[in-house]
Structure 1
Amino acid sequence: MRTLYFDCFSGISGDMVIGALIDAGADPVQMEEELKKLNIDEEYNLSWGKVVKNGITSTKFDVILTSKSEQTHEHSHSHGHEHSHEHEHSHEHEHSHEHEHSHEHEHSHEHEHNHSHVLHHNHGSRTYKQIVEAINEANFNESVTNRSLAIFKKIGEAEGHIHGLPLEKVHFHEVGAVDSIIDIIGAAILIHQLGIESVQSSAIPTGSGHIHIDHGIYPVPAPATLEILKGVPIASNDIRFELTTPTGAAIAAVLAETFGSLPAMTVESIGYGAGTKTFENHPNVLRIIIGEIQ
């Protein structure tokens, strides 16, 4: 059985997952084409390239918001923990331009009117219902649709529990931002593309210390991250930084069937996805290992 193992020794975030999958051999150009089905591609450009983290060559993935995006550059949302750290999408690229693949898009009116506009004109937030409708109407492969919906539901239920709201009333301020939509659906696209049949993961380190979100100063892990990781083994880690984001936590919590050490497998490919922050003695990367389990 073709299995993917998340080795989360430095946590997990959405952009690290995408970077690791690309590094392991997935095709980001095909992912980019598939994502156009959401009809929000005028709001962003994608970039990916090689960086070196503490001696490990890895792939850094970024979603770069364009002037057409309704989000602000700083992602000013009511639940700010998703973007309150440097681990998710920074706009300070650590790789040189000769290694960066930035993709500018041109859009015809014909293209723009062939799709639903449920994710447009959101005035800074997107509802759970809008995101579900957009995914269902995009006509992705069934496994991509199901994985994406399950991950969004996991985050929506966590946010709803924290804020005392039913799922249908949850507004995805930070998770509904363009970059997190790309991370979640992009990961589902690449996992399908690689022919993954099962997913396993290590325990999840969340980091330590405190972060500032719009509701005040909170300990790491942030409330949504901790809620999402209920039932998931959390690894201790003394790094004073938010290592695992809500998006990364949800990807691991939903997709991984088991959590533990690396299973016995014949390794076929390995990928390293870089986080933005660089630590002095700790490579800030997510490692994925893909292979066959008999």
Structure 2
Amino acid sequence: MKIIYLDCFSGISGDMFLGAMVDMGIPIGTLASGLYGLGLDIRLDVKKVRKHGIAGTKLDVIAPDTAHERHLSDILEIIDASALESDIKAASGNIFRRLAEAEAKVHGISAEEVHFHEVGALDTIADVVGAAICYKASGAEALFSSPVNVGSGFVKTSHGLLPVPAPATLELLKGASIYSTGIQSELVTPTGAAILAGLCGGYGPMPYMTAEKTGYGAGTKDLEAPNLLRAVLGEKIQKKA
């Protein structure tokens, strides 16, 4: 069985996931053509960077309305009205529903009442849909993750200063193996946590697998550890007794 294993030693965000997939070999044209099917005013900025001497891909979705607020129904309407394939629509919608349910639980309201702020922007919609596009293009049948480094401290949001991991992020990480090395930074964003919640089939050490491709997706910050998400694509093999 072909799988993707994510090594989240420096957390995960939407742009880090896309960068790791492109660095691993998903053609940027495949991602771009899929995202343009959303019919949104977006473009991709892709460049090679180095974090602590390790080369990776930094991928940013450039969009004009990063402060725009949307409800879940608005986002699902954009996805459903797009030219995307039905399975990509379904996977993207599932990830956003998980985001809405996490925000709703934290704020004590219904999922339909949730006002998306940071995660309602076009760049985040593209991150989520792009994750579904890349996962399908990889040919993987399952995705697994290492324990996730969440960081520590506080993060500034539209609701004010919140502890790291942010409450909605922590809600999305229920069932995941998480830890902190004390880095004073938000290492897991709500979008990154939602991608894990929607795609990840389990957390733990790297399984027995034949590694075929690797990729490194870079985050924006420069930290005391390499701010990278490592992805490994390969064939999962049965451990011999």
Q: Could you say whether these structures have the same fold, taking a TM-score greater than 0.5 normalized by the shorter chain as the test? A: yes
Residues 91-149 of structure 1, C-alpha deviations (whole Å, 9 max, x = no match): xxxxxxxxxxxxxxxxxxxxxxxxxxxxxxxxx21210121122222242233122111
Aligned ranges 1:236-255 → 2 under 5 Å: 236-255=180-199
Aligned ranges 1:22-37 → 2 under 5 Å: 22-37=22-37
Q: Does 1:262 align with 2:206?
A: yes
Instruction: Mark the runs of 5 or more structure 1 residues left unpaired by the alignment.
Output: 77-123
Task: Choose which of 172, 180, 203 in structure 1 pairs with 2:116.
Answer: 172
Task: Choose which of 147, 164, 178 in structure 1 pairs with 2:91.
Answer: 147
Task: Choose which of 226, 231, 238 in structure 2 pairs with 1:288.
Answer: 231
- Aligned partner of residue 171 in structure 1, secondary structure: coil
Q: Does 1:59 align with 2:57?
A: yes
| Conservation of the 8 A alpha-carbon contact between 2:212 and 2:233 | yes
Q: Percent identity?
A: 47
Residues 264-284 of structure 1, C-alpha deviations (whole Å, 9 max, x = no match): 00111000000011123x111
Aligned ranges 1:41-52 → 2 under 5 Å: 42=41, 44-52=42-50
Q: Does 1:232 align with 2:230?
A: no
**Following TM superposition, by how much is the alpha carbon of 1:19 offset from its aligned partner in structure 2, in angstroms?**
0.2
TM-score (norm 2): 0.94
Q: Does 1:204 align with 2:148?
A: yes
> What residue is the counterpart of 2:11 in the other structure?
11
**Following TM superposition, by how much is the alpha carbon of 1:172 offset from its aligned partner in structure 2, in angstroms?**
1.8
Aligned ranges 1:100-115 → 2 under 5 Å: none
Instruction: Mark the runs of 5 or more structure 2 residues left unpaired by the alignment.
Output: none
Q: Distance in 1 between matches of 2:6 and 2:154?
A: 25
- Aligned partner of residue 126 in structure 1, secondary structure: coil
Q: How many residues align?
A: 237
Q: CA RMSD in A?
A: 1.3
- Aligned partner of residue 273 in structure 1, secondary structure: strand
Residues 60-87 of structure 1, C-alpha deviations (whole Å, 9 max, x = no match): 001223xxx3x2xxx44xxxxxxxxxxx
Greater Rg over alpha carbons, structure: 1
- Aligned partner of residue 289 in structure 1, secondary structure: strand
The AA in structure 2 aligned to 1:232 is A
